[in-house]
Each structure stands twice: as C-alpha cells, then as structure tokens.
Amino acid sequence: MSTTADVIIIGGGIEGCSTAYYLAKRGITNVIVLEAQEIMLNGGASRNAGGVRQSGRDPRELPLALYGVKNIWPTLGEELGVDVEYNQGGNLRLGKTEEHLKTLTRLANNAAACGVGVGMISGDEARAINPYLSEEVVGASWCPTDGHANPLKTGLGFYKNALAMGVKFITGEKVLELRKVKGRLRKVIAEHGEYEADTIMVCAGAQSKEILSTVGINAPVRPRIDHCLVTEGQPHMFDTMLGTAEADFYGGQTNHGSFVFGGDDDLEGFDIYDLKTKGTSTTAPCVCRGIMKYFPKLAEMNIVRTWAGWIDITPDGVPVLGDCEEVPGLVTAYGFNAHGFGISPAIGYALSELIETGESSSIDISGLRYNRFKAKF
C-alpha cells in the first residue's frame, strides 16, 4: 500500500469518514485515513443518542447545523444507500425552574436570530407535544425541524462509500508525530510506518492534543467521559428528541422501540487509549434518576446495556475547524463537546471544500478556527 497521498486524515470517526467521503466525491480519492484503534467508528460521535439538532447550539456552529438539516440529512440515506434512520420529529429542551427557562430562552433567541425556527413554549404546550412529560416541566424550547438519526449506520455509510471510491483506511496505526518539510506540514510518523501528503487533517478527538503538540500547536481540548444507556424495546411512544436546560441527559426513542439516552456526571477519570474502559456503577443510575424526574413513565423500563466513551471538550464549547496559520498544510476538526454527530455531514462537506479550493464558501466556519484562541495584544 502506498504511504503517499494527496490527503491524510488522522482519525477514523464519523468526521474523518464523512470528510473522506466528500473528498472522494470531489474526485480526490488518493486519501489515507489512519485510525489508532483496530476498528473504525469506535469513538464518541459514532455511538451516541444521535441528535440532529439546530436548537441549543452556539451561533458559530449554527451554519453547519442549518446547512445539514436543509441540504444533506433529508436525502443522506438515499445517497449513501443506507437507512440512516433520520427522523425529523422535533426537539424539546426541557426546563423545571426559572433559571432553566432563562437558559433555554437565551439559546432559543440565539438560534432564532440565525434563522432557526425555534421558540419557547409552556409546560402544558410541551406536554401536548409529548404527553409523557412530568408535571414538573414548566417550559421548554421547541424546534420542530430538529430530529435524530442512527450514528453507527451513518458512519458506516460514509466509510463504505469512501472505501468503494478508493479511499484507503488503515486501522491499528497510532500516530506518534507530525513533521514539517521546508516549513509545511508533510509527514505523519506512526507506529508502523511513515506517511506523506500535501494536506494532513487531524480529527482524533481528545488525542488531537498530543498529536498536534508535535508541531507546536497547543490544542485547547481535554477528554471527558460520557455514558449511554439503552432500554428494552417499547411500543412507539414519541418521535421527539429530548434534552434539558442543564444538558444532564439527552436522547429519544429509536425506530426499533428502545430508548437511547446519554449523560455524564463529569467526575470520572479514564485512559482514552483503554478500549476496556467502562462506566462505573454510579454514573448510569445518576443519568437514570435525571431521566425519571422528567419522564416518570420510563421508571419501570429495564436497562439492557450501557457503555462509556470519551468525548473532547473545548473551553468555549464549540469545535476547532479549518486550517491553521501557524502550520501550513494542517486542517483540524476536534473538540465537538458531545454534539458533533448532527453536524458531521456538514463538517465533512465544508472541510472537503476547504481542502480542495482553499476556502469553505458554502458554509461559514470562520468562527470555529484555531486562531480564536490566540492571545490578543
């Protein structure tokens, strides 16, 4: 296998696979994707509750969310030849206190100012949409164009189509170092070989920090553990995606009847390279207690499995996307703060355009570049 390519992508999660796919669609098929783990799509965005939402987002990432919901998600399953289980059933973000409502109102106003059809509704109006809500819910934000999809099926769709178009995927290849040649990033030093490309994209989640440090970039990202739990299958109850003002849980009912919820207590340490890391006995019950306060009807359901995975957190809660002035030839995509899945198709589209043309003209990602963290003198 050749170790020279036009583009090398470090990280085989859904953002890496979507970018590889859209590059191949643009005719750039000499692409190598390096994944440290032995299997693809084993990261946080590929195994979560699958929210595809515009509401509750920072205005800087809303262009990605809006573009995806309008131009990509409605036909993505047909395009990939995979049922991605996209369901545009709306999103309720719930509040039980006046402070919750202040938070939700601020987020809803930010989204509405960017063109998202989202607004505040009362607790009774929320229960009219979802009659299973607790009487403790006093209000919510409601976005009828939000929804959810299956993360693993979506990621596999990108992967299989990119593979069919000639993209090379190498698993079990942990990246150790990046190197410049004549002032431009050109080489990737990995455990089992060296690779070279005109453009190198780093989308390795929390591991991006260690990788980027080898070329002098202090990536503003840290790991945090997140948990998912799945209930036994139930008759259809509702299609809405659910979340809260405090983001203590999120999720909904899948096409198969089971409920998938995610959440965390932000108290657990772990090794991001340890594939055997599991949630402790305290976190899943913590998430369950939060869910039952909003949905008493779910209290009697059995949890059939849980798992934990790592997510990458930035100081300002939005990802770091785009090129980097300090290192020509470098493109980054990390720091998705547990809400990267819904915008992953748009990220792949935008970054493939950036790599091919030098700019992302279709989607404005200028507010997400690394230079926002540079000291201002």
CB 261 within 8 A of CB 99: no
CA 246, distance to chain mean position in Å, is 18
Measured distance CA(97)–CA(91) in Å, rounded: 19
pLDDT at 272 exceeding the cut of 50: no
CB atoms within 10 A of CB 51: 24
Per cent of the chain over pLDDT 70 is 91
Name the amino acid, one letter, at 16: G
Q: Among the listed ranges 239-243, 260-264, 349-353, which one has the minimum average pLDDT value?
A: 260-264
Q: Catalogue the E-assigned strands of 157-264.
A: 168-170, 175-181, 184-190, 193-202, 222-231, 241-244, 250-253, 259-263
Helices (H), the chain: 14-25, 62-67, 73-80, 98-113, 123-129, 151-164, 208-213, 283-294, 344-357
Select from 240, 354, 317, 320 the least CA-distant residue to 58.
317
Measured distance CA(245)–CA(250) in Å, rounded: 10
Where do you find CATH 3.30.9.10 in the chain?
A: 222-313
CB 356 within 8 A of CB 26: yes
CB 311 within 8 A of CB 226: yes
CB atoms within 10 A of CB 289: 12
Report the pLDDT averaged over residues 228-235.
89
Token look-up 């809006």 returns 66
Torsion angles phi and psi, residue 361, rounded to 5: -85, -25
CB 51 within 8 A of CB 243: yes
pLDDT at 233 exceeding the cut of 60: yes
Structure tokens at 85: 């289980």
Token look-up 């990280």 returns 11
User: How would residue 377 be classed by pLDDT, with cut points 50, 70 and 90?
Assistant: very low
Q: For domain 222-313, which CATH number applies: 3.40.50.2000, 3.30.460.80, 3.30.9.10, 3.40.50.300?
A: 3.30.9.10
- CA angle (90 as vertex; 88, 92 as ends), nearest 5: 155
Q: Among the listed ranges 88-97, 215-224, 307-316, which one has the minimum average pLDDT value?
A: 307-316
pLDDT digits 0-9 by tens, 20-59: 999 999 999 999 999 999 887 766 555 567 899 999 899 9
Top-tier CATH class for 4-47+152-221+316-373: alpha beta
Structure tokens at 123: 């607790």
The string of DSSP letters for 69-93 reads IIIIHHHHHHHHTS----B---EEE
Q: What is the pLDDT of residue 283?
A: 65
Where do you find CATH 3.50.50.60 in the chain?
A: 4-47+152-221+316-373
Structure tokens at 181: 């040649």
Structure tokens at 11: 């990280």
CA 332, distance to chain mean position in Å, is 14
Q: Among the listed ranges 109-113, 210-214, 246-250, which one has the minimum average pLDDT value?
A: 246-250
- Residue 200, helix vs strand vs coil: strand
Q: What's the mean pLDDT when you consider all of the chain?
A: 90
Name the amino acid, one letter, at 191: E
Rounded to two decimals, what is the model's pTM? 0.91
- Residue 254, helix vs strand vs coil: coil
